Structure 1
Amino acid sequence: MNSFWNKNFDLFTARFPALQKQLSEISDISREKEPESPYWQVLQSKSGGLTVKEKGIFLHSAYAPQKEAENTVRNAKKENTDCAVFFSMGLGYAPLEWAKKYPEDTIILVEPELSRFFAALKFTDFFPLFQHKKLILLLNAAPKDVITLTEHSAKLSRTAILENKAQTRHAEDYFSALHALFERNIQKEKINSATLERFSKLWLRNSCKNLNFLEKLDGINVYKDACPKGLPFLLISAGPGLTEILPHLKELKERCITVAVDTALRACLKVQIEPDFIVLTDPQYYAYRHIAGLKSQTSVLITESAVCPPVFRFKCRKTVLCSSLFPLGQYFEKKLGEKGTLGTGGSVSTTAWDFCRLAGAEEIFCTGLDLAYPKKQGHIRGSFFEEAAHAKSTRLDSAEKKLSSALFAANPEKALDYEKKEVVTDSKMKMFAWWFESQTQKYPEISCFSLSRSSLAVPGFKTADVHSLLNRPKSQKLRKAFFEAEQKNAKTQDIQNLLSQNYNSALSELKEGLENLFILSKNAISICENLLSDKPPQSEKIQTALKQLEQIDLRLRNSQFTQIVSLVFPTESQLDRVFSSCSLPQEPQKQVFARSKAVYQELAKSITQYQKYLPPLP
């Protein structure tokens, strides 16, 4: 029965020599020593193949395990699937079937217990799997590493997750955590795709209008690691918990560097406190509304080049940029120097936290970071959200009704606060909490504290009483030392002149590159149209057209400007809608060219949008 072992072990060693060497250091499995599998009862199925039982439960069909694997793979494989992730595998029938049927797909095997993976090598011929050119083994890997490597291999929307509960019972907690991570990241990917569809044109317009600020303004890198030892940061978010801290904000500012999100600024100014930093990175107009009509002349505004243009007219001491999230800004930063990258967890509070980290904070105290609805409130009293609800309220549609509708529209869920008491939250806020949790694991040297015990509990965060912070000595000297980093990193006039020259050169190069892309796309459209006009197209003409399009595609892929245009190029779902609206010809060969023509037309439209909004050359 175990004659497969030597062959499979040799195949594994030849395919994954580094992994085999690494595993040999933490296990006693070798070619000469087969792994034990006392947890399995290996039996012969009704169809003649092997099946296996564990604790009385079959991991595969008792009748036809290979047939079961064929059905599993057939049901999991969709038209756009190009990656399969297997949560454990029993004797390996399903991944072997996938390898045989779909040699171009990526296959990822996840198994936290090494002995179970190697036990399967005793009973099944793994030759088709180890010969599969896109096989990834994640043995004894942390769940967060599994999700990271999977996302690097394929889009989650194009990934099939195959999990057989009988096969994962031996590590139920591990696979439950992994399942939750996949669900969360799949949801995040869907949100990102929907956001791109909805706002890409807005991001393009804003980025083009604000382009010259990339040349003029400093980046947040001027504060990188500037925090002296012993100086804490206070992150000010706009949750209801901020109410308790506002009376102490003046004294806290004397002991901390204060970083407020845009939604919290109004509340800070009402108690006559201007934060040291204000963070606003959301490109939407409503984000600008949080600071519209306000001024904070001793504050530094941290923003992004794609924000609503009036943001740059906000009256403050200084405006600095973080690195752009969008390809146009990234292109110019390569020419002018990076501003400083901040993490994006979907909330301005996550961006603000990451600025504290970049600045070198060893302690980050958080207020208003409730990530929940304590007392059924989503934001602090007097915030823009609440004021807007009051401004639009009527007798039949009151502010209370609007605010409660917002709560229930968020699909509320129950969770626990720092005192293990029940609190109402939602899936979106849980995603933010997971981001903060992941950062505490990534940066264990940073101590994070919540000043509110009624906030959603974030693993890795501790709680702190505001008075323990107020009892610390004032930090005027440390604060002064921190802000001296601005002067140390200030640009000279010569550097500014060089940046202006580089900006003009980059803009000229961009315009020329986009024009070349436009010409290529028009040429490709013409090739497709000529082929489609033939009735029927000759085989020789088809081959010539395909070669011409292949050459154009190669030039498009190799152009640095294609990535820039991708911002407003249709997403997969948008392209599907474009194809469905086309009247495709009946002939299969012509359908290929009709679809290609539609893609090149969308590319030409995307380029035209850039050409429309880019500023003129000086």
Structure 2
Amino acid sequence: MKVVDCFEENIQLLEQHLSDVAQRLRASRQGNSVTVITGSKGFPTLKVVGESCTGFLHSQYDPVQEARRWWQQQKENKDWKRTKHVFLYGLGLGFPLTAILEDLPEEISVTVVEPSYEIFAHFISLFDISDLLQNPRLNLFVADDLVHIDEEIGDIIKQYVLDVEVVEWSPYARLFPEAVQHWRKRFIELSTSVRIEQNTLLYFAEQWPKNILQNAGAISKSPSVREFIGKFEKVPTIIVSAGPSLNKNIHLLKDAKGKALIICVDTALRAMIKHDIMPDFVVAIDGSELNYRHFEGLPNLDIPLIFMPTTHPRIISEFGSRAIVSLGGNQLLVFFQKFFPEKAGLSTGGSVATTAFEFAYLVGGDPIIFIGQDLAYPDGKSHADGTIFEEIRKKETDRNMVYVEGIDGKPVLTDLTLRMYLQWFENRIASIKVEREIIDATEGGALIHGTKLLTLSDVLAAYCKEERPIAPTIDAILTNYEPKGIDEFLQGIKQICRMLRRIKRAGWVGLKRSESLLAYYLTEQSSRLPVHEVLQRLERIDQWIQQANEDEMIDQIMQRVLLNVTRGKYTIQPEGETEQEEAIRISKNSCLFYQGVMEAADTMHKYMQDAEEQVTTILRNTSAAEE
């Protein structure tokens, strides 16, 4: 970086790369909290009036050497073996970033977060930043409120599968203690959210593809949630969740029937039936056997069921006589969307309650009203009476428990997962608040910022006075729906079955080639093996598998194998490893990969055959009915 007076030139560059930042910088340059000081060696530093004290952001003598010493300390205090990405909090005048970039290997990238627009304004006044903006290894964010960059930071953490390290330019903790604490807290929350998502993906790596393909018939013949777009414009819409506060007002829902649209999450269905209240829709998205227990033993009451392809198949087969599909949320569904583009699904937000909210928004519900949406554990209770979880209790000493603000302004106990959903609701509500009224009639639990607090009795008195044709509207949509694209879908399934058989064969060939390499290196190359030729064949096999798997049919089911191949014991190079030992380690990893390809292709082929039988039966029954 060259020291020049280049504020205007840098602003023009920023308008191309970070236009929102550029707009704020002109005003920030006029601030009086930061002063440029020239040190004894001619280097600039900044004197900053911080949150609680005033101090220098860099050494007044030699900020370059200071940054290098700081970076060496960071390296000594952390385990960098798996690091693929570094987050730096605090850019200052760029000295710590320069120390990092000049030392880190090229394959490790960096994200910089600068919390002060005024500091950044002085930085771009002093230094040409064109090289930084064009550096492919670097992400740059300037944000005094992390909520504006939450999504981007979360995506970066996810991209590097949590193989990240976080460092802070030390003076920021002294000058901006509250901002630094907020950064640390938010980074942990985002990392936790990513870890939950990754763990869920691993846990359901085989279950989700199995569920999706066991639901293939239902997906192909069911109407989409999008058939209901705007069908309940300006109709009060009540989302019934299963939080413990549902006990307070569930009995009042009978008075809302026919006057408001009632959407029930699966967890709350038993409690609703116990009170002899039939919702207009029930939403089920979870793919686990445990989720089926919410329905097990209940009569089929012909309640319209909104499901996702990953939903447990028994829920749909036993309670899906009036099923409605939300097609999305899984990489395998790209294949389905080729044949059913009109069935694009809802943005789920990760939970059944957030999915219900998106459906309420899609149909035009206004106001949207929460009940049973505690998002917390008031008095340690997790769920309403009548649900399968009614006996569960939570304590402050349980893992991952935190406090959030309750509707009464007092702290209420929750956990990291529920807090994540609370933040989702708050962000989503903020994005639509100008067009919809959102009411929280839970009468307990966490405060959801952006909602209007009312009791359910007040909601019914104010919004649910007149009868509306809710059931007839739903009946007409479901009765008049005619499935399309099922013939083409069946042909697509057959084509995928053929492709999976070929991938399995390619995996077998790759495994045998890898085993021959392993045997060669284990015997200290005593046998004659054209190693270069074998490696070329393996490369061709890899390329062919990648091309054949363009629909990503085996990717999800291979998650555990891919995790082992990319991060397992065979990826770690021990100190003092010889060339032969390295070759053995890599060959074992190669065997692990191709064995995984074979098994994944075989398993997916079986699931696809089941889907083929389902769809064939649907077409056969349709033909018979037409005759």
TM-score above 0.5:
yes
SS at match of 1:161: strand
Length-normalised TM-score, structure 2: 0.83
Alpha-carbon offset, residue 557 of structure 1 = 3.5
1:66 corresponds in structure 2 to 67
Question: Which residue of 138, 141, 149 maps to 2:152?
Answer: 149
CA distance in 2, matches of 1:376, 1:73: 41
CA contact (8 A) 1:37 1:119 kept: no
Question: Which residue of 476, 494, 512 maps to 2:467?
Answer: 476
Query: Residues 432 and 13 (structure 1 numbering): CA distance in 2 closer, same or farther, change over 3 Å?
Result: closer
Query: Residues 49 and 151 (structure 1 numbering): CA distance in 2 closer, same or farther, change over 3 Å?
Result: same
Question: Which residue of 220, 224, 246 maps to 1:219?
Answer: 224
Question: Which residue of 498, 502, 521 maps to 2:507?
Answer: 521
CA contact (8 A) 1:223 1:485 kept: no
2:411 corresponds in structure 1 to 422
Is 1:319 matched up with 2:323?
Answer: yes
RMSD: 3.7
Deviations 1:194-252 (A, max 9, x none): 222223222233223222212121121111222222x1110101112111212211111
Question: Which residue of 239, 242, 261 maps to 1:238?
Answer: 242
SS at match of 1:360: coil
CA contact (8 A) 2:215 2:309 kept: yes
CA contact (8 A) 2:223 2:478 kept: no
Deviations 1:85-104 (A, max 9, x none): 32221221222123223333
2:89 corresponds to which letter in structure 1? F
Deviations 1:16-61 (A, max 9, x none): 561477655544499xxx988862464648x996655535444346
SS at match of 1:614: helix
SS at match of 2:499: helix
Question: Which residue of 530, 555, 558 maps to 1:566?
Answer: 555
CA contact (8 A) 1:415 1:423 kept: yes
Q: What is the 5 A alignment of 1:231-380?
A: 231-295=235-299, 297-315=301-319, 318-380=322-384
Q: What is the 5 A alignment of 1:185-224?
A: 185-224=190-229
Length-normalised TM-score, structure 1: 0.84
CA distance in 2, matches of 1:422, 1:36: 37
Question: Which residue of 63, 71, 89 maps to 2:91?
Answer: 89
CA contact (8 A) 2:369 2:439 kept: yes
CA distance in 2, matches of 1:371, 1:458: 9
Query: Residues 127 and 65 (structure 1 numbering): CA distance in 2 closer, same or farther, change over 3 Å?
Result: farther
CA contact (8 A) 2:264 2:283 kept: yes
CA contact (8 A) 1:277 1:299 kept: yes
Query: Residues 223 and 457 (structure 1 numbering): CA distance in 2 closer, same or farther, change over 3 Å?
Result: same
1:4 corresponds in structure 2 to 3
CA distance in 1, matches of 2:123, 2:325: 54
2:110 corresponds in structure 1 to 107
CA distance in 1, matches of 2:169, 2:4: 24
Alpha-carbon offset, residue 503 of structure 1 = 1.9
CA contact (8 A) 1:297 1:316 kept: no
2:491 corresponds in structure 1 to 505
1:476 corresponds to which letter in structure 2? E
2:240 corresponds to which letter in structure 1? I
Is 1:596 matched up with 2:590?
Answer: yes
Alpha-carbon offset, residue 274 of structure 1 = 0.6
Alpha-carbon offset, residue 276 of structure 1 = 0.4
Q: What is the 5 A alignment of 1:426-441?
A: 426-441=415-430
Question: Which residue of 374, 382, 388 maps to 1:384?
Answer: 388
Instruction: Flag structure 1 segments of 5+ consecutive residues without an equivalent.
Output: 390-402
Query: Residues 70 and 128 (structure 1 numbering): CA distance in 2 closer, same or farther, change over 3 Å?
Result: farther
CA distance in 1, matches of 2:582, 2:564: 22
Question: Which residue of 156, 161, 164 maps to 2:166?
Answer: 161
Alpha-carbon offset, residue 420 of structure 1 = 0.7
2:622 corresponds in structure 1 to none
SS at match of 2:606: helix
2:16 corresponds to which letter in structure 1? A
2:441 corresponds in structure 1 to 451
CA contact (8 A) 1:69 1:93 kept: no
CA contact (8 A) 1:5 1:121 kept: no
SS at match of 2:588: helix
Alpha-carbon offset, residue 547 of structure 1 = 4.0
Mean alpha-carbon deviation: is it higher for 461-470 or for 62-71? Answer: 62-71
CA distance in 1, matches of 2:93, 2:528: 48
Deviations 1:456-475 (A, max 9, x none): 11111221122222223544
CA distance in 2, matches of 1:499, 1:173: 57
2:34 corresponds in structure 1 to 39
CA contact (8 A) 1:5 1:123 kept: yes
Mean alpha-carbon deviation: is it higher for 475-484 or for 274-283? Answer: 475-484
CA contact (8 A) 2:36 2:44 kept: no
CA contact (8 A) 2:239 2:368 kept: yes
SS at match of 2:287: coil
CA contact (8 A) 1:372 1:455 kept: yes
CA distance in 2, matches of 1:73, 1:560: 42
* Aligned positions, number: 591
1:182 corresponds in structure 2 to 187
1:532 corresponds in structure 2 to 518
1:18 corresponds in structure 2 to 16
Deviations 1:544-588 (A, max 9, x none): 444444443334344444622111213465444463899998443
Alpha-carbon offset, residue 147 of structure 1 = 2.7
CA distance in 2, matches of 1:9, 1:524: 57
Query: Residues 543 and 8 (structure 1 numbering): CA distance in 2 closer, same or farther, change over 3 Å?
Result: farther
SS at match of 1:350: helix
CA distance in 2, matches of 1:39, 1:382: 60
Is 1:464 matched up with 2:454?
Answer: yes
CA distance in 2, matches of 1:351, 1:149: 22
1:67 corresponds to which letter in structure 2? R
CA contact (8 A) 1:156 1:186 kept: no
SS at match of 2:301: strand
Quick one: percent identity of the two aligned structures?
Answer: 21
Mean alpha-carbon deviation: is it higher for 606-615 or for 329-338? Answer: 329-338
SS at match of 2:271: helix
2:299 corresponds to which letter in structure 1? K
CA distance in 2, matches of 1:7, 1:316: 65
CA contact (8 A) 2:325 2:345 kept: no
